A and B are shown apart, each in its own frame.
Chain A
Amino acid sequence: MIRNYFKIAFRNLWRHRSFAMLNIGGLAIGMTAGFLIFLYVSFELEYDDFHTKGNRIYRVITDVKTPTETMTVSNTSWAFAPHLEREFPEIESAVRINYLSMLVQHGEKKYNEDQSFAADSAFFKIFDFKLLKGNKNTCLQAPFSLVLSETAAQKYFGDQDPMGKTLKILEEGYPVRITGIMEDIPENSHIKGNMVLSMTTFTQSIDKDDDPDNEWGNFVPSAYVLLRKGTIASALEKKFSGFIDKKVGQSLSIDQMSYSLFLEPLDKIHLWSDRGSNDKGNINNIYVFSVIAVFILLIACINFVNLTTARSVERAREVGIRKVIGAKRSQLVMQFVGESLIISILAFFITLVSTRLSLPYFNQLAGKNMDTHFTFSVSHIFTLLCVALFIGILSGIYPAFILSAYRASRVLKGKFSGSSRGILLRKGLVISQFVIAIGLIIGTIVVHHQMHFMQSRDIGFNKNQVLVMNTGVNHAQKAFKQNLESIPGIASVSLTSAFPGWSNNIAYSQIENNNGDFQKANIGIYFVDFKFIRQFELKIIAGRPFSEKFATDTTQAIILNEKAVKSLGYNKPENVIGKRFEQWGREGEVIGVIKDFNFTSLQNEISPLSLRIEPSRTNFMAALINSEDIPATIKKIEDKWDVFLPQKPFTYFFLDEYFDRQYRSEIRFGRLFLSFSILAIFISCLGLLGLVSYSTLQRKREIGIRKVVGASVTGIVNLLSLQFVKLVAIAFLIASPLIGLVMHYWLNNFAYRISMEWWVFAAGGIIALFIALVTVSFQAVKAAMANPVKSLKTE
């Protein structure tokens, strides 16, 4: 029996090849998209899940409160981790991680290693980063110990064994000993890096005089603690305020500040944390994509059901015959479900192939690096197969019941036409497909509109044609700068400690407020030079910019942004001029106010900012290029670099690109959204195409009669198209408010956002309508052009 079903199914597919291709192809495309999204989602959800002690590892995060604001940071000050470990028996061990961008040299090889960090010796005991060589207990104990990843080891030492060998690090060229080799850190780890330097390198040697282990106010390293078994994190968290009081309570109360410490579970860091890097995942995006995946699968299933039930007229006769020669209804249901299972299993295999082929593109699109090993793991393939079988049964069962219910005596008499219930259902399904498609189109437009808005908005400073280099603060810097200024293609060169898009320092400051008191606040700080304000085209709205004419400007002057002035309680920016300030060991007067500019992503509100002249901290050099020939100018800069800074590799970037990198995850989100919308629309159109061809086939006789009695071709095309226009219109009415709500919610993520205007919705509807009409009209025109005599004769 089963064999007979298979035979029939395969012959049926073969006989109706184009139909089968629509059906299998649509399903396979939908399943591929769904599978890729599923992989993406599980990749994100499985972040940091490879640490065997993971459920006991927590990141220590801090809220720093001042009278005016609360800063929520993902890191701690240097003293927290070692003191927490000593103070609380619940904490088995603690580790600090400090990300570095350090110069590394080995013989002739010289690289700037962005992907490196310093860590305390417990690092390899707490985390399960596998050491291939070296002792996990001791490899990070001694100062100037370095653990390399396999990739880094290969890069510097090739096939030689690096253990015990030395590399030179930092500009000073300290020799470090290789004490371990670790496996490359997995892609799905939020801690990333190619080399791990022992923290003692700084605490016991380089920065020994600053006594970092007792430094409470400088928030730099990330800290992680491993709790003892059975410890309840929330209970431990409650004890932290007492700990802070005991350690630094006094000095904090003088400064009117307070620290609150929290424990963030390791597995929540990547997706749920509200603090940390730009590369962080976002649980909302995960939800959005999961929903999109389900929608795309749904569209594919709907196609399947639609196409199958649309064909029911053709299959009715077969059902009748089978019933007459003895088939039970259950046997027929089995047969039809079996057929749809075969289709879904074929689609499953095609999905495997197409996933393999599209994986590199998808990785690029999503900014992930999922390898085939991860992609085609047994559990993933098993999940896909289950989904395929589920879809097969789900999509097969309805048509199966419809088809098997036909009365043999009726269908064999030829008195059969599609039931009105079936037609209504198909219409409903087409409408729901288009609700999804229109929703995705409108969503795509909104996302891209917002992206465009963010990238083209007046952000209050010039970011074009600015080349930024990290020269470091050194003697050569000044000479290099002067030499650059003499290059014809360079308009201006400025030194600064930060630039928009680069995370600036936050300084504890006291400034005289409207009431004449010294108001304490943590505000952002840019250390700049005299040219900075002009070169970046910042606007002075009160007072004056820094000027070399005033000798005191280098030590006793500060410029604030509007936001800072407002937080001090001044109504007019003029009123703050001449007020006193104290900040990081300097004191003096406010000399000017600049108009607010977006120095962070537009997702965030502009926060208070201060500018000061401080040549000893300006490690970045920004060159404004006014030449047409940018590559030639860069070449000239490189030549000078090699003369003045030969110890460092020449690296640079353009400010606009760097600034826009803040939107990387949003841009990616937008691109993924666009791709999946196109897919969803494409699959919907496949279904529509199939549906239209069947419905015109069924109306062939009607069309013939209409033509004979004098209908024009356009009249018939309109007749056939109009029904689908109606469906799209209904779908539009349902989709608009829904997607409007969703996008409103999404836009709320941005401090600076577009307002959704009516044309966005109109455009979405019109695009969907247009695509639907194009799809429909091919068939409609073909049917309308056909010779009526032919279609009437065959009836």
Chain B
Amino acid sequence: MLLQLNNIFKWVNNGGNTTFLLKDINLTVEEGEFISIMGPSGSGKTTLLNVIGMLDGFNEGEYHFLEKSVHQLREKHRSALYKEYIGFVFQAYHLIDELTVYENIETPLLYKKFKTAERKALVADMLDRFHIVGKKDLFPEQLSGGQQQLVGIARALVSRPKLILADEPTGNLNSRQGEEIMDLFKKLNEEGVTVIQVTHSEKNAAYGSRVIELLDGRNVTP
């Protein structure tokens, strides 16, 4: 078991009214799964992804990640945990504009204090694997959307996470680029990486092994 959510509640108070973002979410994810979270706008997909990614907290419930109780961890240990095991991919790519492709991929390694030689090897690996060696000195704005997303995925993968969280990774791409990216996720999953993606598209969801459907913060998976 990779992670387990038990009775997760998350709400915000808005001038006396309490709005539930997540209501009683229970979810167990095994290593090697490829899960798609679906649901209409405002159903809490991204919130759930952020909770899983430990970017957001929750108000009630338990969260176990690799036998550790996340809800009892202090901020410092929690961030150490997600840095170690989780990689993020965003709809808007979120690359750092001032850094080249190479440097963008390298940055997570810098924060983890990898040695220079190791960094070089790991980044070179990634560039190779995604066939973007020729683009390594370009800046994000010089790339197409699909290429930017490739770099985003390379950056998420470079520190060898167990889990990839992808928030509508193809949302800003045309269908051909989208397919390439989804194929890539599929391939990564086959290599053993657990993937959880948020998506609107049935087609993309079909790449996964399991679909979780949300409505108004509830898990309504049939």
The chain A residues found within 8 Å of chain B, CB to CB, are 1, 4, 7-8, 11-12, 15, 317-318, 320-322, 324-328, 331, 407-409, 412-413
Contact = CB atoms under 8 A, between A and B. Distances in A.
Interface stretch (B94-102, B186-194, B198-206): B94-102
Contact of B155 (A325, A408, A409): A325
Contacts of B79: 326, 328
Chain A CB within 10 Å — which of B88, B110, B113 has the most? B110
A4 B96 contact: no
A326 B98 contact: no
Contacts of B156: 325
B112 A8 contact: no
A4 B107 contact: yes
22 contacts: A1-B113, A4-B103, A4-B107, A4-B110, A7-B98, A8-B98, A8-B99, A11-B99, A12-B98, A15-B97, A317-B94, A318-B98, A321-B95, A322-B107, A324-B94, A325-B88, A325-B111, A325-B156, A326-B108, A328-B79, A328-B111, A407-B55
B56 interface: yes
B151 to A, nearest CB: 12
A326 B107 CA distance: 9
B159 interface: yes
B34 interface: no
B9 interface: no
Q: Which 9 A-B pairs have the closest CB atoms?
A: A326-B111, A409-B55, A11-B98, A326-B83, A325-B108, A321-B94, A409-B56, A409-B50, A326-B108
Nearest to B90: A412
Contacts of B26: none
B83 A318 contact: no
B46 interface: yes
A45 to B, nearest CB: 46
B98 A408 contact: no
A318 B96 contact: yes
> Number of contact residues on B: which range applies?
20 to 34
Contact of A320 (B94, B95, B98, B112): B94
B173 to A, nearest CB: 18
A365 to B, nearest CB: 42
A322 B106 CA distance: 12
A706 B94 CA distance: 31
Contacts of A328: 79, 111
Contacts of A318: 96-98
A775 B113 CA distance: 47
Contacts of B110: 1, 4
Interface in B159-207: 159
A494 to B, nearest CB: 79
Contacts of B94: 317, 320-321, 324, 412
Nearest to A4: B110
A12 B156 CA distance: 24
Looking at A15, A321, A407, the one whose CB has the most chain B CB atoms below 10 A away is A321
A773 to B, nearest CB: 35
A317 B94 CA distance: 8
Nearest to B167: A412
B98 A327 contact: no
Contacts of A12: 98
A4 B106 CA distance: 10
Given A8-B98, A11-B99, A322-B96, 4 more contacts: A15-B97, A325-B111, A326-B79, A328-B79
A331 B111 contact: yes
Q: Which of A15, A407, A409 has the most CB of B within 10 A?
A: A409
Contacts of A317: 94
Contacts of A413: 46
A412 B49 CA distance: 13
Contacts of A326: 79, 83, 108, 111-112, 159
A4 B110 CA distance: 9
Interface of B: 46, 50, 55-56, 79, 83, 88, 90, 92, 94-99, 103, 106-108, 110-113, 155-156, 159
A413 B156 CA distance: 18
A327 B99 contact: no
A7 B55 contact: no
B108 to A, nearest CB: 4
Contacts of B83: 326
Nearest to B111: A326
Contacts of B50: 409
A412 B94 CA distance: 8
A318 B111 CA distance: 14
Contacts of B98: 7-8, 11-12, 15, 318
Nearest to B116: A3
A413 to B, nearest CB: 7
Nearest to B75: A329
A321 B56 contact: no
A409 B94 CA distance: 12
Contacts of A325: 88, 107-108, 111, 155-156
Contacts of A4: 99, 103, 106-107, 110
Name the residue among B88, B106, B107, B113 with the largest chain A CB count within 10 angstroms: B107
A326 B46 CA distance: 20
Nearest to B112: A326
Nearest to A1: B110
A408 B83 CA distance: 13
A339 B68 CA distance: 38
A4 B104 CA distance: 10
A17 to B, nearest CB: 13
Contacts of A331: 111
Contacts of B159: 326
A753 B113 CA distance: 69
A7 B79 CA distance: 26
Nearest to A331: B111
Contacts of B95: 321
A318 B50 CA distance: 18
A11 B139 CA distance: 11
A1 B106 CA distance: 10
Nearest to A13: B98
B221 to A, nearest CB: 24
Nearest to A11: B98
A737 B214 CA distance: 64
Contacts of B106: 4
Contacts of A320: 94
A12 to B, nearest CB: 6
Nearest to A314: B97
Nearest to A414: B92
Contacts of A322: 96, 107, 111
A321 B94 CA distance: 6
Contacts of A7: 98-99, 103
A322 B79 CA distance: 12
Interface centre among A7, A321, A325, by most chain B C-beta atoms within 10 angstroms, is A325
A324 B55 contact: yes
B88 A324 contact: yes
Contacts of B113: 1
Contacts of A8: 96, 98-99
A663 to B, nearest CB: 56
B82 to A, nearest CB: 8
B179 to A, nearest CB: 25
A67 B9 CA distance: 96
Nearest to B86: A324
A317 B98 CA distance: 12
A12 B46 CA distance: 31
Contact of B55 (A1, A11, A408): A408
A12 B111 CA distance: 20
Contacts of A324: 55, 88, 94
A328 B108 CA distance: 11
B44 to A, nearest CB: 13
B90 to A, nearest CB: 7
A320 B95 CA distance: 11
Centre residue among A12, A324, A412 by max chain B CB count within 10 A: A324
A795 to B, nearest CB: 15
A4 B156 CA distance: 18
Contacts of B108: 325-326
